Amino acid sequence: MTADQRLDQLEPLLSEAMTILDRHTAQLKQLTNAVGQLTTIAIQQSDNISFLLREHVIIKTDVAELKDDVAILKGGVAELKGDVAELKSGMVGLEQGQAGMNDKLDLILSKLK
């Protein structure tokens, strides 16, 4: 077999191998692009999750502060209720004292007539 005949036999094999290699190269480029897109998406999701976690921590802190404020308000309301009860009992005493005064004034007025 001559060198030209050997080249004629090798040429179709090399051509086929090169075609396969080109196809594989194109597929690898597609995979690389897909991996790049997935990486970008993963980074965005990671950023979103980090943002949500930071916001969650802030909200938890705010809720804890609100709970403290509510506890203080409950104490204040309880104190106000006690003060209102004292005022009511004081009013009852004043009303009774005023009624007694009215009775005495009526008695004085009746004796003056």
**For 51, what's the count of Cα atoms within 13 Å in the CB-facing half-sphere?**
6
18 token code pair: 């090169």
Instruction: Indicate the pTM of the whole model.
Output: 0.55
Q: How far apart are CA 111 and CA 105, in angstroms?
A: 10
77 token code pair: 């309301």
10-residue averages of pLDDT along the chain (113 residues): 82 93 97 97 98 98 97 96 95 92 89 82
Q: How far apart are CA 103 and CA 96, in angstroms?
A: 10
Q: Determine the pLDDT at residue 24.
A: 97
